[in-house]
Structure 1
Amino acid sequence: MSFIIRAATRDDLQHLYEMAKLTGGGFTNLPPDRPSLTAKLDLSTKAFERTDDTLEDETFVLILENTETGEVRGTSQLFTQVGQKWPFYSYRITSLTQHSKELNRTMRADMLSLVNDLEGSSEVGGLFLHPSERAGGLGLLLARSRYLFIAAHRPRFGDQILAELRGIIDEKGGSPFWDAIGGRFFGMSFQEADEFNAIHGNQFIADLMPKHPVYISMLEDGARKVIGLPHPNGRAAMRMLENEGFAYHQYVDIFDGGPSMTARTDQVRSIRDAVEMSLDGLLDEGTGEKALIATGHLASFRCCYGNRMLEDDSIRVDPMTAKALNITDGDMVWSIAR
């Protein structure tokens, strides 16, 4: 089978909707709501059509397509500058140390403080791979293709990049973290709040969430234990982010307590090590090194796995990759070792 990453179009609405119904909740960037998905595709289309190389608040949606069947089997998203339309909230784990001379005792308390520290960052998110395709490195292709897109369009992205990982959700679709904090102030279940956020944004958090720090020791055990932990299905994603140079700096999601990972954009491995060269010939079958290979600008962006050989200021790729990406000698190609 042959898979490519390409720009999403409005014609992908049904595909995205079918995948959204498989997420199991807690997936804000891919809600099973047609109007929301339509609006997201409209924003993405406008972003792909804008040609100015300047940083603005934009959303890009990418699609994983099986080129043999035409089936859409995955998706991922890029947000160029979060917190512009409405505030971008996180909890940051902070500490307060106090000392009593009379008791000769020092107490250290960890707290959750509501912050906008990550506002203005770019974000990679919305990655979902169809359950039947979770083999063969397609999740890695979806994830790392985003970094090649950023490298190819660097002026459109900020100097810091973040990734939010879904937190722990129980078998009923609830969140122990939300139940312990947000649920007490909003009178909404986690699923209701998550769906409302996906469709309407999180301004309601600004309106009603208490601004004072929350002492972690006062939370129930079930909530304390999940703070900063990724959903079991997200552990592999967390390892991939760490391999790219992302780190956890005590920021957690305000809904489910999942970890937010951050990195300097130019230090993300797949951005830092990506190279752009012109195509100069094809490889013999079975030669070259395995790589992610991409070409095209904005809406014509395409990316796939293939083989490459770097030669001074040019690159050669295998014939199957050249066909999948529709490239010929002289075309500019971005690549990164697999």
Structure 2
Amino acid sequence: MTFVIRAAQPGDLPHLYEMAKLTGGGFTNLPPDRTALGAKLARCGEAFGRDTAGLRDELFVLMLENTATGDVRGTCQLITHVGQKHPFYSYRIGTLTQHSRELERTFRAEMLTLTTDLEGASEVGGLFLHPGERAGGLGLLLARSRYLFIRAHRQRFAERTLAELRGVIDEAGGSPFWDGLAGRFFGMSFQQADEFNAINGHQFIADLMPKHPIYTAMLTDGARAAIGLPHPSGRAAMRMLEHEGFAFENYVDIFDGGPTMTARTDQIRTVRDARDAELVTIDGAGDPAAGGTEALVATGRLGAFRCAYGAVRKVEGGVALDRACAAALAIEPGATVSWIGRI
């Protein structure tokens, strides 16, 4: 395979902008705004440039590049410490149980409560794969490369990691959840609020959103039905998150009602189960007869981080790696790699 995950660079702005225009809305981490994307890359450059341990509010952006053509076909992001510059709001789904002795009836009302419970967690997000490349496991490569990056820089990330999945968006680009709830208080469309949030942050939510719980029975049928549901295009991403150990714990996005998945960082499957080894040889591990295992392989730190699919075979003193993967990672024998089986 000729694709590699690498650190974002200032020259990636045109690539990010072109991908942002294809997202179709509701994709806060990848707004179709050159200024906002340029600011992301600048912040990302600062993060890649700090080679000291310790948890700070940082952003890392990774890119999927075709090494044969130089085309950039996907991207993903990692935020180390959410809620430090702007509050990180979610709705928590809860239930209020009340009993009437006179009626001999018990009532259970579902409520949405505005909360900042998830502040301080790390976040994996901003994953976008060009529509022409949504085959061959490239989405899996993008998603899991983030966990290998976390593993390589564990002290830079929090004890809990979250992932927000885009919620239900209608054919016109609107959100039934937004229209049935927040839109009534803000006087702006979902597209307007989503764009404003992507560029300016969540503070306007703190300024204008009612702080008391919202009874879901008071919402429209469309808004209520959208609570906790991922966009149809995000169902595969939800399954991948569940496979990694993430779970839905009744937190949803305040804009589109999409589910927020959470996991203990050290228990994310790829973080927990990947192995480190020295690259001993690159002589034919990709030959099925040699017994190579198809795997995700990563090497390097910070701006030198790279990740690709490869065939790994255990040998005395370390591992052997197929030539294509070694070339994509730009490594020679003696390098240290982290790897985990593809399945």
> What is the TM-score normalised by the length of structure 1?
0.99
CA distance in 1, matches of 2:308, 2:25: 29
Q: Which amino acid letter does the alignment assign opposite residue 200 of structure 1?
A: N
Deviations 1:50-98 (CA, angstroms, capped at 9, x unpaired): 0111110000000000001100000000000000001100000011000
Q: SS state of the match for residue 107, structure 1?
A: strand
Change (3 A) 1:313 1:148: farther
CA deviation string 1:13-51 (max 9, x = no partner): 000000000000000000000000000000101000001
Contact 2:177 2:255 in 1 (8 A): yes
Partner of 1:315: 319
TM score, norm. by length of structure 2:
0.97
Once residues 212 and 323 of structure 2 are traced to their aligned partners in structure 1, the CA distance between those partners, rounded to angstroms, is 60
| Residue in 1 that maps onto 2:54 | 54
Is this contact kept in 2: 1:74–1:129, CA < 8 A?
yes
What code does the residue aligned with 1:19 have?
M
1:292 aligns with 2:280: no
Cα 1:201–1:321 shift into 2, 3 Å: same
Who is 1:124 aligned against? 124
Q: Is the 8 Å Cα contact of residues 88 and 116 (structure 1) preserved in structure 2? A: yes
For the 8 Å contact 2:3–2:66, the answer to whether it is kept is yes
2:328 alignment partner in structure 1? 324
1:241 alignment counterpart: 241
Q: Secondary structure at the match of 1:173?
A: coil
What is the Cα deviation at residue 277 of structure 1? Answer: 1.2
Q: Give 3-state SS (helix, strand or coil) of 1:38's partner.
A: helix
Distance in 2 separating the partners of 1:326 and 1:176: 47
- 1:67 corresponds in structure 2 to 67
The reply on whether 1:198 has 2:198 as its aligned counterpart is yes
Q: 1:313–1:185: structure 2 CA closer, same or farther, 3 Å change rule?
A: farther
Aligned-pair distance for 1:282? 2.0
Residue 22, structure 1, aligned to residue 26, structure 2: no
Task: Report the CA distance between 1:313 and its aligned residue.
Answer: 5.3
Secondary structure at the counterpart of residue 52 of structure 2: coil
What stretches of structure 1 move > 4 A for 4+ residues in a row? none
Q: Is residue 2:272 matched to residue 1:272?
A: yes
User: Which letter maps to 1:4?
Assistant: V
Structure 1: gaps spanning 5 or more residues: none
Distance between the aligned counterparts of 1:144 and 1:67, measured in 2?
Answer: 19
Offset at residue 326 of structure 1 (A): 1.3
Percent identity between matched residues is 67
> In structure 2, what is the Cα distance between the partners aligned to 1:299 and 1:273?
24
Does 1:304 pair with 2:308?
yes
Give the conservation status (yes or no) of the 8 Å contact 2:166–2:234.
yes
Contact kept? 1:282, 1:316, Cα under 8 Å: yes
Task: Say if 1:5 and 1:302, in contact at 8 Å, map to a contact too.
Answer: yes
Residue equivalent to 1:162: 162
In the alignment, which residue of structure 1 is the partner of 2:341?
Answer: 337
**Contact 2:127-2:143 within 8 A present in 1 as well:** yes
Counting matched residue pairs gives 338
Give the SS at the match of 2:109: strand
Which amino acid is the alignment partner of residue 120 of structure 2?
A: G
User: Post-superposition shift, 1:123?
Assistant: 0.4
Question: 1:305 Cα deviation (Å)?
Answer: 0.3
User: 2:226 is paired with a residue of what secondary structure?
Assistant: coil
Q: Distance in 2 between matches of 1:282 and 1:193?
A: 51
Contact 2:280 2:317 in 1 (8 A): no
Aligned counterparts of 1:39 and 1:282: Cα–Cα separation in 2: 40
Root-mean-square deviation over aligned CA pairs: 0.9
Q: Structure 1 residue 324: deviation in Å?
A: 1.3
1:148 aligns with 2:128: no
Contact kept, 8 Å, 1:283 with 1:308, in 2: the verdict is no
Q: For residue 52 of structure 1, give the secondary structure of its aligned residue in structure 2.
A: coil
Q: Is the 8 A contact 1:310 1:316 kept in 2?
A: yes
Give the 5 Å matches for 1:168-207. 168-207=168-207
Please state how far the C-alpha of 1:312 moved relative to its aligned partner. Answer: 6.4
Q: Counterparts of 2:260 and 2:184 in 1: how far apart (Å)?
A: 23
CA distance in 1, matches of 2:55, 2:316: 32
Give the whole-Å Cα distance in 2 for the aligned partners of 1:316 and 1:148: 19
* Structure 2: gaps of 5 or more residues: none
Aligned to 1:76: 76
Cα distance in 1 for partners of 2:143, 2:314 equals 23
Which residue identity does 1:142 align to in structure 2?
Answer: L
2:12 counterpart of 1:8: no
Contact 1:276–1:335, Cα closer than 8 Å, also in 2:
yes
